[in-house]
Amino acid sequence: QRFLQLQVNHDAGMDYADLIKVGLRHRPDVFIIGEVRDPLTAEAAIKAALSGHLVYTTVHAQDPLGDIDRFKQLGISQEFISQALTGVAYQRLVPTTDGQQKAMLIGHEYFELADLNSYDWSEWQDGLTTAVNSKLVTPETAKKFELG
């Protein structure tokens, strides 16, 4: 088992897109990209996924469907998104009753993009109900975060 880590180095002119190109030469099975926040990185991540690589990355969005909108904002076509995106995990830091924060996470894998016209928040809301019943969060906090 080999592991290769490449690091962004703007001084040397190496950004995410350049590193993904370099990484492809090593024929990896999996890419882990820290964050997609610009068009070049989005395009490189989608290209890696379309070439048969498993790609894990983060995208900042308000809800699970926001990932799709974010890729569109970065210039990726709906067609490429639907071919490359096979799963979404959504997490949010929620304030707890002890003054700390806990991450709540939901994940969806192997969906058809066409079926995601709206998002069913029931799993998320069930998690909040469990957190309230366990006294991890207040009912007021649960209400505030009921839609992510």
According to CATH, the topology of domain 1-85 is: Rossmann fold (3.40.50)
Strand ranges in the chain using DSSP code E only, listed in sequence order: 30-33, 54-57, 87-95, 101-109
Q: Where are the domains of the chain?
A: 1-85, 86-148
CA atoms within 13 A on the CB side of 50: 13
- Report the distance separating Cα 84 and Cα 43, nearest Å: 11
Q: Are 58 and 36 in contact (CB under 8 A)?
A: yes
Per-residue pLDDT of the chain (148 residues; tens, 9 = 90+): 577 788 888 898 888 778 878 888 888 888 888 889 999 889 989 998 998 889 999 999 888 788 889 999 999 999 999 899 888 888 888 999 999 988 887 766 555 665 555 667 788 888 889 999 999 999 999 999 888 7
pTM for this structure? 0.76
- Asked if 128 and 42 count as a contact pair (C-beta separation under 8 A), the reply is no
Please report the pLDDT score of residue 77 as a whole number: 95
Cα 46 from Cα 121, distance rounded (Å):
27
